[in-house]
Amino acid sequence: MSARPIKLAITGKGGVGKTTVSALLASMLQKSGRKVIAIDADPDANLLAALGHPKPDSIAPLVELKDLIEERTGAKPGTTGGFFKINPRVEDIPDRYAVTVNGIKVLVAGAVKHGGSGCYCPENAFVRALVTHMLLDKDAALVLDMEPGVEHLSRATVESVDQLLIVVEPGRLSVETAHRIQHCAEDIGLTHICAVGNKVQSDADRQFLQRELHHIELIGCIPYDERLRAADQAGKPLPGASIAADLAVAALVAALEKGEHTPAHTHSHGKSERHAH
Residue 271 has pLDDT above 90, yes or no: no
* Structural domain total, the chain: 1
Asked if 264 contacts 216 with a C-beta cutoff of 8 angstroms, the reply is yes
Looking at per-residue pLDDT, the higher value among 133 and 267 belongs to: 133
pLDDT of residue 61: 93
Residue 259 has pLDDT above 60, yes or no: yes
Q: Is residue 18 part of a domain?
A: yes
d(CA 129, CA 85) in angstroms, rounded, equals 10
Compute φ and ψ for 138, nearest 5 degrees. Answer: -85, -5
Residue 70 has pLDDT above 50, yes or no: yes
Asked if 162 contacts 256 with a C-beta cutoff of 8 angstroms, the reply is yes
Q: Is residue 199 part of a domain?
A: yes
Q: Is residue 269 part of a domain?
A: no
Residue 90 belongs to a domain with what CATH number?
Answer: 3.40.50.300
Asked if 131 contacts 144 with a C-beta cutoff of 8 angstroms, the reply is yes
Q: Please state the rounded mean pLDDT for residues 143-167.
A: 88
Q: 243-258 and 18-31 helices cross at what angle (nearest 10)?
A: 70
Q: Please state the rounded mean pLDDT for residues 241-266.
A: 81
pLDDT tens-place string over residues 180-228: 999 999 999 998 999 999 999 999 999 999 999 999 999 999 999 999 9
Residue 64 has pLDDT above 50, yes or no: yes
Looking at per-residue pLDDT, the higher value among 129 and 242 belongs to: 242
pLDDT of residue 1: 42
Q: Is residue 19 part of a domain?
A: yes
Q: Is residue 266 part of a domain?
A: no
Q: Is residue 178 part of a domain?
A: yes
Residue 43 has pLDDT above 90, yes or no: no
Residue 274 has pLDDT above 60, yes or no: no
Looking at per-residue pLDDT, the higher value among 183 and 268 belongs to: 183
44-64: b (≥16 Cβ within 10 Å) or e = ebbbbbbbbbeebeebebbbe
Q: Is residue 277 part of a domain?
A: no
Q: Please state the rounded mean pLDDT for residues 71-96.
A: 85
Quick one: pLDDT band at residue 119, thresholds 50, 70, 90?
A: low
Which domain, by its residues, includes 125? 7-258
Q: Is residue 170 part of a domain?
A: yes
